[in-house]
Amino acid sequence: MKFLHSASVVALLLELSYALPQDLEGTSMARPLLKKRVQDCGTWRMKCKNAAGACNNACYYINCINGKNNKFAWGPSPVDNRVHSGCTTTASSLCKSPPFSMRSWDQSNDAKPMDCDEFPMNAFKQQAYKDGTHRNSLRCINNGENRSGGSQFGQFQRGIGDWKPDGKFGKDRTCKGAMGPDDTFSVDFVIDGDDGIEKAKQRDLIPYCLPNPNCANDGFQFHMSKLDISETKAGRMSNPYNYKRDNHYAVDGAGDIRLYRISILRRSSKTFDVTVYERNGKDELIEKKKKTESPEYGKWFQLDDAFPKQSLAIRSNGAPGTELNFNVGHKGGLNFNQGDFVWKSGDTGIAGAYCEVGGVNRVGIETQTINCDVPVLA
């Protein structure tokens, strides 16, 4: 009988442990004889040329939320990361679901269609969402840019393409072969040169990636502030939105986004009966404010404290049948970055019309009803 040297035995055991079949999540289907040593795989550099939105969202998380800590791990998480980030819900797309679509898809100048982008990415190892935490930074970005970011990381994880040993960025990747569970890495960004963004556009496209960035929210950064998992194992999202039972989302630094209804009865040429409701789902309307005004045409009138953190202003432009202007804003001025919102009664977004505008009843005193469901902060 031939006996193996002890070092050879160890090597053989390692080979056997690595050869165990793995499931789609990358975890062994049988208990390995020896656990693979966790290694650091160097630095993944996201190329921002075709992934500006993904870069900007990642930079926001690293520079503005995570204290500039750019160290992460790869591997299976104990939960579905897309659900626990807030991106996967029972709605077809969070970015197309009101009231969130009204602040993201409708207001953004980014190319459409858009996806919910989360950072840390779905592929990164993360723990379950906990109330009161900022687990992931969310931003609705162009879907091509979203896919570019994910594809680039997939190449880094497997050590292929630009990340193979002789690839463009191979020297930045320090581990051999595909990354294993719990392997760590740092995240950096290519913002200049052929794989970056021309200087003149950097401040518009990737402001959070610039040196010493201004971390004030541009109005498009948000995060999940409460998770409610449905029977289908996705985050709960109703249409109309129901704050009492659905996922909660907050504009960073400003507050949770709620759905409110503004109901207007126009009587004669200048009289307005305005009622403000908190709306939850299809059936619940909770009256919050009521006021009758007779404003001059072209003049704004205001309902202070119509909403938990904001006031409502309305401008009449003529008799029933003419368009109305609306502002949901903080006292002292409008600030989209802090959750304020401006629209007209005839506006339409990706999810449909902002207001149900009734016809003018011209029998006797002219009347018209207008109901608008819009995002406010709580």
Summarize pLDDT for 86-95 with one digit per residue, the tens: 999 999 899 9
The alpha carbons of the chain give a radius of gyration, in whole angstroms, of 26
Contacts with 227 (C-beta within 8 Å, 6 or more apart), sequence order: 83, 84, 86, 129, 131, 235, 247
- Predicted local confidence at residue 23, as pLDDT: 40
pLDDT bucket at 332, cuts 50 / 70 / 90: confident
Q: Is the pLDDT of residue 260 over 70?
A: yes
- Predicted local confidence at residue 270, as pLDDT: 86
Q: Is the pLDDT of residue 14 over 70?
A: no
- Predicted local confidence at residue 11, as pLDDT: 42
Average pLDDT on 151-157 reads 98
- What the block records as the tokens of 308 is 């938990």
pLDDT bucket at 343, cuts 50 / 70 / 90: very high
Strand, helix or coil for residue 275 = strand
- 241-251 pLDDT, tens per residue? 999 999 999 99
pLDDT bucket at 3, cuts 50 / 70 / 90: very low
pLDDT bucket at 109, cuts 50 / 70 / 90: very high
CA dist 9 and 219 (Å) reads 59
pLDDT, the chain, mean: 91
pLDDT bucket at 34, cuts 50 / 70 / 90: low
- Predicted local confidence at residue 268, as pLDDT: 84
- What the block records as the tokens of 378 is 């709580």
Average pLDDT on 338-366 reads 96
pLDDT bucket at 12, cuts 50 / 70 / 90: very low
Helix (H) or strand (E) holding 255: strand 255-267
B/e letters for 53-90, b = 16+ CB within 10 Å, e = fewer, are: bbbbbbbbbbbbbbeeebebbbbebeeebbbbbbbbbb
Q: Is the pLDDT of residue 41 over 70?
A: yes
pLDDT bucket at 35, cuts 50 / 70 / 90: low
- Predicted local confidence at residue 7, as pLDDT: 46
- 194-215 pLDDT, tens per residue? 999 999 999 999 999 999 999 9
- Predicted local confidence at residue 235, as pLDDT: 98
Note whether 36 and 17 are within 8 A (CB).
yes
Looking at the chain, the whole-number percentage of residues with pLDDT higher than 90 is 86
- Predicted local confidence at residue 182, as pLDDT: 97
Looking at the chain, the whole-number percentage of residues with pLDDT higher than 70 is 91
Q: Is the pLDDT of residue 10 over 70?
A: no
